[in-house]
Structure 1
Amino acid sequence: MLTAHSRWEVYNGDNSVFSAKRSHAIQLKTKLQVFLANNVHEHICDFRVEGSWTESSCVIYAGESSTIIAQMHKKRSVGSVLLGKDKFIVTVYPHVDYAFIVALIVILDEIN
Structure 2
Amino acid sequence: MSAHDRWYVYRGESKEPNDLLFTVKRSSMIQFKAKLHVFLANNTEEEVCDFKVEGSWSERSCVVYAGDSPNIVARMYKKTTAQSVLFGKDNFSVTVYPNVDYAFIIALIVILDDINKESGAE
TM over 0.5: yes
- Three-state SS of the structure 2 residue aligned to 1:3 is coil
Q: C-alpha displacement at 1:55, in angstroms? A: 1.6
Amino acid at match of 1:68: I
For residue 23 of structure 1, the aligned residue among 27, 31, 35 is: 27
- Three-state SS of the structure 2 residue aligned to 1:5 is coil
1:32 aligns with 2:36: yes
- Tell me how far apart the structure 2 counterparts of residues 79 and 35 of structure 1 sit (CA, whole Å): 40
CA RMSD of aligned residues (A): 1.4
User: Hey, which of these two has a bigger chunk of helix by percent?
Assistant: 2
Structure showing greater Rg: 2
User: How many residues matched?
Assistant: 108
Structure 1, unpaired ranges of 5+: none
Q: For each residue in 1:33-73, what CA deviation from the matched residue of structure 2 results, as whole angstroms up to 9, or x when unmatched?
A: 00000000101000000002222100000000100000001
Which residue in 2 is equivalent to 1:10? 9
79 and 5 in structure 1: CA distance in 2 versus 1, 3 angstrom threshold: farther
Amino acid at match of 1:16: L
Q: C-alpha displacement at 1:80, in angstroms? A: 6.1
- Tell me how far apart the structure 2 counterparts of residues 21 and 105 of structure 1 sit (CA, whole Å): 13
TM-score by length of 2: 0.82
Q: Percent identity?
A: 64
TM-score by length of 1: 0.89
